[in-house]
């Protein structure tokens, strides 16, 4: 049985998919992004022992480790940032909510994850080790929502979910997490976004794995606050 945290991930996916279905070019809309951010701020807040001790910001630009002497002010946009009022520890949230044609892009999605880690926690030609050191006790979370079956131009595909290994990401920083929620749905129905929406059954595949990853994140957040 799913708990409230897992159910909230399903609701986040469903609400953003509803917007995409109901609005032309909805998947590219800033309103869809707002809906996703709002729901996932709620999800992360449920993981915090004292959520009132944290501030949140969305679509915030931070200094990027790819800055160089030609681009010393280079920045990188984070979907959601939580900042603890007392310790100033941060939680960086990078979001993906996938609604169609995943398999052909799955290696690009995985490469993007590695690149985003490097842009937050890597060494920099311009900043040197300064940003890496400043962020060493911050937490980074890659949160992906994806259906079991994805619509494609020719029908529906069974997703072949692919991510980098956590140990590879944690070469950059030990406080990096990946949480995925794979939405259960009907393969025969998931041929369009509208059909995908109606075929969602409210369940997440591999809920124990998702729950374990969530609990690992919760423990890590408590640990960084004690440093």
Residue 29 and residue 22 in contact, taking contact as beta carbons nearer than 8 Å? no
Domain parsing of the chain, residue ranges: 4-226
pLDDT of 1 higher than 70? no
CA distances from 106 to 21, 90, 96, 110, 217 (A): 23, 28, 12, 6, 24
How far from chain centre, in Å, is Cα 158? 21
Write the DSSP assignment of 113-129 as a string of letters: HHHHHHHHHS-BTTTBT
Which parts of the chain are beta strand (E)?
54-63, 75-84, 90-97, 139-147, 149-152, 155-158, 176-183, 204-205
Read off the pTM: 0.95
Q: Which residues contact 104 (CB under 8 A, 6 or more apart)?
A: none
pLDDT of amino acid 113: 97
Encode pLDDT of 151-167 as tens digits: 999 889 999 999 999 99
Spatial distance between the Cα atoms of 204 and 1, rounded to a whole number of angstroms: 10
Percent of the chain with pLDDT over 70: 99
Q: How confident is the model at residue 23 (pLDDT cuts 50, 70, 90)?
A: confident
Return the closest-CA partner of residue 164 out of 78, 94, 215, 211: 94
* Residues 69-123: tens digit of each pLDDT: 999 999 999 999 999 999 999 999 999 999 999 999 999 999 999 999 999 999 9
């Amino acid at each position: 049985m799913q708990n409230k945290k897992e159910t909230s991930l399903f609701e986040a996916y469903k609400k953003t998919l509803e917007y995409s279905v109901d609005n032309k070019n909805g998947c590219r809309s800033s309103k869809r992004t707002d809906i996703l951010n709002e729901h996932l701020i709620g999800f992360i807040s449920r993981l915090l022992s004292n959520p009132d001790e944290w501030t949140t910001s969305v679509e915030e630009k931070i200094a990027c480790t790819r800055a160089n002497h030609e681009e010393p002010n280079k920045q990188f946009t984070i979907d959601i940032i939580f900042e603890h009022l007392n310790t100033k520890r941060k939680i960086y949230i990078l979001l993906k909510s996938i609604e169609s044609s995943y398999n052909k892009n799955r290696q690009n999605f995985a490469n993007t994850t590695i690149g985003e880690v490097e842009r937050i926690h890597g060494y920099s030609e311009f900043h040197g080790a300064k940003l890496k050191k400043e962020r060493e006790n911050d937490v980074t979370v890659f949160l992906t929502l994806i259906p079991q079956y994805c619509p494609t131009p020719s029908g529906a595909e069974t997703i072949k979910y692919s991510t980098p290994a956590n140990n590879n990401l944690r070469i950059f920083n030990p406080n990096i997490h990946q949480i995925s929620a794979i939405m259960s749905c009907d393969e025969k129905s998931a041929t369009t976004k509208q059909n995908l929406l109606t075929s969602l059954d409210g369940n997440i595949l591999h809920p124990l794995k998702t729950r374990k990853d969530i609990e690992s994140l919760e423990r890590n957040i408590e640990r960084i606050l004690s440093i």
